[in-house]
Amino acid sequence: MKQFALRFALPIAFIFILPYVYPNSFFMKIITSFAALYLVVVGLNLLVGIAGQLSLGQTGFFAIGAYGAALLVMKLQLPFFVSIFVAAGVTALFGAIVAMLSLRSHGPYLAMVTIAFGLLVEIVANRWVDVTGGPAGLFLPKADLFGYALNKVEYFYFAALLALAGQWVATNLTRSQFGRTLHALRNSPVAAESLGVNVTGWKVGAFVLSAFYAGVGGALFAFQDGYINSDSFTFSSSIMFLVAVIVGGAGTVLGPFVGTLIIEVLPTFFANLYDYHLLIFGSILLLTLVFLPEGVVGTLGGRWRKKPPAVPEQIEPYRIEPADMGEIAIRIEGLKKYFGGVKAIDGVTFTVQRGTIHGVIGPNGSGKSTMVNLLSGVYTPSEGQVLLNGNTVQGKPTFRIAKMGMTRTFQNIQLFSDLTVMENVLVGFHRQFRSGMFRQMLALRSVKREEQQFVDQCFRILKLVGLEQRAYEIADSLSYGEKRLMEIARALAMKPSVLLLDEPAAGASPVEVERIVNVIRKLRDAGLTVILIEHHMEIVMEFCDSITVLDFGIKLAEGTPEQISRNEKVVEAYLGGEEVMKLVGGF
């Protein structure tokens, strides 16, 4: 009930009262523009604040929405209401094109593609006079709903309610698996891929969504005055949209509201100070960015963080699905990876039986990390074959290999560092979520039920690794060893048929190493197929059923721990023998 009041009743009451606060046309113009621009900022917040993608050309989408809706009504006589969504759909299509072009480039080049797009649209709006009217503009018919022409106040109500709906949908998406996935790919694309997330596809999706929002905003903007011209769609407004996201608090729910208010509305009140208004506006901006680095809502809102729910007292034990014994889980044949002249892996062949733990060891630089990256699809082999449960793996992207059942942890830990431990593990269920985007948008009951089921499972997995009490803490606050445990939990959520553990105990304290060893013991007892890369030789010797030893990219030896510890070539490769004799002294 309280939720309903906060989300709907209060804002709707506020919207209905607003036109009566200052019943004049200037004020009506400001608040109607606010609703339109706010939608653009909400969409951009999803792209920048949640998915971590930069766009400096949002005005391009805004303009396509505006001119698109105007032309659909004027030339095709589409009803105003329909034209908004058709124009937004076309804008979304442009979003996909810009995304596909920009995602081919990285870093500053990505931003430059979006700038180029914004400028291109600005030039077209300005110069294609026959269609857009150029600087002289277009005069539009009055907006109407099913034949009823809207007056200024009614148009504001319509725009504001649409903006409220847009905010509601964005909030639902942010708080569901959809938002978590976007957040995850922003924090660590490589970890997201390893959990089956098609990162490129999701980035394109984020652009499409933000373009759709900008398109709706543009359409509303176009019809507010019955007139648009190319002056409204300049590069500087793209910057303003981005600044609104940052000043409000990127990634926060209320940030776009506060940001749009400060950036788009506040300056209009100083407009009559002529030369000084830009100075005042600039100063407000600078002070906000200096003193509230996470934006107004990001910085102040952090103090009123909601209390997390309690950790359940009774948590059922998690059952790792035991694999059938005896079959071949992975077959690696003649695998090679050359980096220029460096032969990082040079013709390695080995087989891992289902339900066993297979160790890959070797001195520094022997090619272990390259091997994990080849198996998980981060690198494409120069030659050779990898078969997972009989299916070819090599050449496939990481997310496909993850979908085929093989996932990994990382030597250099890859957290979704802004998310909680629980949310990190929930991303691991990515492949198993059945609720699609539209259901998540509407926060249907079935979505909440499904989410609750996965939360229950998360607790069980977290209990297995001993992190259930830390479920609601931000992942970045965990200790080094706990972060490694969380990575294992996240990988287990995927229900993998093969798990690659890349140095799971590296950097952990002796107590934490003991906790990690306990988890590896549980994985072994459950019969999970594991490929274990580890420097702690006592762990390798205790848990591995078979071991492959690499040296300078070639397979030096293969066998049981006992055979390996007695192999002369292996002993020599390890610091002339002393080190390995010390480490495997038990044999």
Ligand X SMILES: Nc1ncnc2c1ncn2[C@@H]1O[C@H](COP(=O)(O)OP(=O)(O)OP(=O)(O)O)[C@@H](O)[C@H]1O
Give the nearest distance from C-beta 271 to ligand X in angstroms: 55
367 belongs to the binding site for ligand X (CB under 6 A): yes
Residue 320 CB neighbour total at 10 angstroms: 17
Smaller CB separation from ligand X, 32 or 411: 411
Answer for which of 53, 114, 238, 366 binds ligand X (CB under 6 A) is 366
Give the nearest distance from C-beta 541 to ligand X in angstroms: 18
Answer for which of 362, 377, 481, 504 binds ligand X (CB under 6 A) is 362
| Encoded tokens for 309 | 């729910």
Smaller CB separation from ligand X, 412 or 446: 412
Answer for which of 186, 203, 354, 368 binds ligand X (CB under 6 A) is 368
* Residue 107 to residue 263: CA distance in whole angstroms: 26
Burial of 118 (0-12, 13-18, 19+ CB in 10 A): buried
Do residues 43 and 214 lie in contact, with contact meaning Cβ atoms separated by under 8 Å? yes
Give the nearest distance from C-beta 562 to ligand X in angstroms: 23
Question: In which order are the strands placed within the sheet that holds 406-408?
Answer: 406-408, 498-502, 529-533, 357-361, 546-551, 554-559
Give the nearest distance from C-beta 369 to ligand X in angstroms: 3
Do residues 495 and 528 lie in contact, with contact meaning Cβ atoms separated by under 8 Å? no
Smaller CB separation from ligand X, 96 or 554: 554
Using CB under 6 A as the binding rule, the residues of this chain from 369 to 428 that contact ligand X are 369-370
Backbone angles phi, psi at 392, to 5 degrees: -65, 135
Give the nearest distance from C-beta 379 to ligand X in angstroms: 8
Q: Quick one: residue 249, left, alpha or beta (phi over 0 = left, psi -120 to 50 = alpha)?
A: left
Reduced 3-state DSSP string for 243-254: HHHHHHCCCCCC
Do residues 354 and 325 lie in contact, with contact meaning Cβ atoms separated by under 8 Å? yes
Answer for which of 148, 236, 364, 568 binds ligand X (CB under 6 A) is 364
Specify the DSSP element, H or E, that contains 359.
strand 357-361
Residue-by-residue DSSP string for 491-541: HHHT--SEEEEESTTTT--HHHHHHHHHHHHHHHHHT-EEEEE-S-HHHHH
* Residue 199 to residue 385: CA distance in whole angstroms: 25
Span interacting with ligand X, options 29-37, 212-220, 363-371, 428-436, rule CB under 6 A: 363-371
Smaller CB separation from ligand X, 289 or 342: 342
Nearest to 63 by CA among 19, 7, 117, 6: 117
Span interacting with ligand X, options 46-54, 361-369, 539-547, 564-572, rule CB under 6 A: 361-369
Q: What is the CA radius of gyration of the chain?
A: 28
Smaller CB separation from ligand X, 251 or 362: 362
- The C-alpha angle with vertex 499 and arms to 375 and 205, in degrees rounded to 5, equals 70
Smaller CB separation from ligand X, 43 or 362: 362
| Encoded tokens for 39 | 């939608």
341 belongs to the binding site for ligand X (CB under 6 A): no
Give the nearest distance from C-beta 383 to ligand X in angstroms: 16
Do residues 170 and 40 lie in contact, with contact meaning Cβ atoms separated by under 8 Å? no
Give the nearest distance from C-beta 358 to ligand X in angstroms: 16
Backbone angles phi, psi at 382, to 5 degrees: -70, -35
Span interacting with ligand X, options 63-71, 162-170, 315-323, 358-366, rule CB under 6 A: 358-366
Give the nearest distance from C-beta 392 to ligand X in angstroms: 22
**Helix (H/G/I), strand (E/B), else coil: 435:** coil
Give the nearest distance from C-beta 374 to ligand X in angstroms: 9
248 belongs to the binding site for ligand X (CB under 6 A): no
Give the nearest distance from C-beta 411 to ligand X in angstroms: 6
Give the nearest distance from C-beta 282 to ligand X in angstroms: 45
496 belongs to the binding site for ligand X (CB under 6 A): no
Span interacting with ligand X, options 153-161, 337-345, 451-459, 476-484, rule CB under 6 A: 337-345
Smaller CB separation from ligand X, 338 or 472: 338
Beta bridge partners of 141: none
Nearest to 241 by CA among 441, 50, 95, 60: 60
Answer for which of 22, 139, 339, 480 binds ligand X (CB under 6 A) is 339
x-or-dash string of contact with ligand X, 560-579, rule CB under 6 A: --------------------
Answer for which of 51, 143, 344, 539 binds ligand X (CB under 6 A) is 344
Which residues contribute to the site for ligand X (CB under 6 A)? 339, 342, 344, 362, 364-370
